[in-house]
Amino acid sequence: DTIKLDEDLVELETDKANVPIPSPYAGILLSIETKEGDIVSVNDLIATIGDSGDAHTTASTATLEKTPTENATPADAKTEPDASTPDYSAKTKPVSSESAASVVADIGSKLGVTPVAERVAAANNVNLSEIKGTGAGGKIMKDDVEAHVKSGVSSPSVASAITPAKPQVESVSTPIAPKATSTVAPAVQGSTLSAANDSRVERRPMTRRRQVIAANLKNAQNTAAMLTTFNDVDMTAIMDLRKRRNEAFEKRNGVKLGFMSFFTKAVVGALKAFPLLNAEIDGTDLLIKHYYDIGIAVGAVEGLVVPIIREADGKTFAGIEKEIGVLAGRARENKLSLSEMMGGTFTITNGGIFGSMMSTPILNYPQVGILGMHSIIQRPVAINNEVVIRPMMYLALSYDHRIVDGSEAVRFLVRVKEMVEDPETLLVEG
């Protein structure tokens, strides 16, 4: 096949997205060194590209080199290369996964691990979630991993299945069995072994994205002092406003007026009032961000992804709705770029679209706050000493208690509630 410069060669699955890798050369695709589903590392050979005509030359050269040694006398065999034969080795260009290094170098960054530390951890079968990083923002450094190895603390063999650097998948015929020194009760061990060998059990390898999602979530739990506070919001006013204005809004902007733009605007307003919810820890310092890149969690086929609405405070309701629509569509098609999912300052997740009534969302570390939206349910509430039925939604704010005090978190969530219950003000100010 003829390959053009920058033509997509393969699609690389990372923890954040499926990323097309462009060819660094133009020429003829001579060989493919990997197959679909293979796990590759930086510098692994994935293909060979040669100049035009090299594929034909290669076949001819192989035949010519083999014939003299079998049929001719030693005097007849050529010991010098024919000047008319192109130097194939000089003209072919191995395409390695190093060409994708700029794309995948950040695979450990979201987890808070340097690439070198990832490689050392993988080589020593170390579970990174067991290590407390000493780098900026709690990032795990090479020295942290080496110190862990020297301490003699061994990680369970299953840890290699979620190590971001080199995920390993056990074969069906090799059940994961604890060591004899394990403190797990024999009955539990037997149950695990029985399930692994049971013909009714299907074993599936975790995708790269799912492995790192699992590691990221566990890292957030192990690192942050997470706490969740709850409130409920009366959605009557916002639903009435949408009913009155949606038709004109859609006609004018080409997009429907959804709930998410109201919550995004409300969150930005609350972050401006309580800036510690828009910060992160960097060693012994706090990094308070005076910009508002809001992550919107979106369900995709292979796991949750969080594309970012950049500088949400400067966007209109229509701008936010349009961007959410585009990013959600790209997420469902696995076409989000890494740049579209990196660097958020706060996250909003909506379990209500799946029917969730209440949950405690896990932080998107190193962020220190995440707002959980839920289902709108008709419930009886007391208003002016009367019981009335209103469309109510529970809100959940998970936060890092190391930075944010409980009183500040509660007031933040109350501010979000107040703004959502007074959407006209949001429209005027937004």
401 is known as an active-site residue: yes
Q: Which of 6, 38, 240, 405 is catalytic?
A: 405
**CA gap 289, 11 in Å, rounded:** 34
56 is known as an active-site residue: no
**CA gap 220, 168 in Å, rounded:** 23
Q: Which two tokens stand for residue 112?
A: 């808070």
Q: Which of 232, 293, 401, 422 is catalytic?
A: 401
Q: What is the rounded (10 degree) CA torsion for 285, 290, 296, 297?
A: 0
Positions annotated as catalytic residues are 401, 405
